[in-house]
Amino acid sequence: MGNQDSSTSSQSAEISIQTADYSLADEVALLEQGNLTDGAVVTFTGRVRNNNNGNTVTTLTLEHYPGMTEKSLAKIILQARERWNIGRVKVIHRVGELNIGDQIVFVGVTSKHRQDAFAANEFIMDYLKVKAPFWKKERIISEGQSAESWLDAKDSDTDKAELWS
């Protein structure tokens, strides 16, 4: 990938929903560039696994609700800012068809000291999992046959997000 597809990407300073891949190094550089007040930079990268619930996964397709996705992520970032003293935030989520090992999601947070950035990063991911309108469809090999199915939401993700309330 790496190509720019403007028709399915939307940009703001802190949020990007895109089909294209991203460079972790470039994103870290943007969080650090000219940022002389923050000593901590915490990043999370989510990738496509080759296995789920005991099945072999071959591809993953991500759908989202344009407009609501950006609005819900902006709200989550705002909530993080209200709870912790953080500096820069960047959330990237890819949509469309992804292959095994592809990067899906990036969350980067900076803060003066590490504790705020660690906590805010985890909070943003936990809330993204249960609040942001994304849906994954996986293509799996099951009993030698290729089949497509939408993923079920996990109770463990809901439980994890509730720990913050």
Partner 1 sequence: MIKIVFFAALREQLDCAEMSLASEGVKNINDIKLKLSDNSEQWQQVFSNASLLSAVNHDMVDGEHPVKPGDEVAFFPPVTGG
The binding track of 33-52 with respect to partner 1, each residue x by CB under 8 A or -, is -------------x------
Q: Which of 4, 47, 49, 63 binds partner 1 (CB under 8 A)?
A: 63
Q: Which of 134, 81, 80 is nearest to 104 (CA)?
A: 134
Q: Which amino acid is at 104?
A: I
* Nearest distance in Å: CB 149, partner 1: 9
Measured distance CA(164)–CA(15) in Å, rounded: 22
Q: Is 88 in the site for partner 1 (CB under 8 A)?
A: no
Packing angle, helices 155-162 and 114-131, rounded to 10: 140
DSSP secondary structure letter of residue 22: -
Residue number with CB closer to partner 1 (39 or 66): 66
Q: Is 72 in the site for partner 1 (CB under 8 A)?
A: yes
DSSP secondary structure letter of residue 53: T
Give the binding-site size for partner 1 (rule: CB under 8 A): 28
Measured distance CA(136)–CA(143) in Å, rounded: 21
Residues at the site binding partner 1, with contacts judged by CB under 8 A: 46, 62-65, 67-68, 71-72, 93, 104-105, 125, 128-137, 150-153, 157
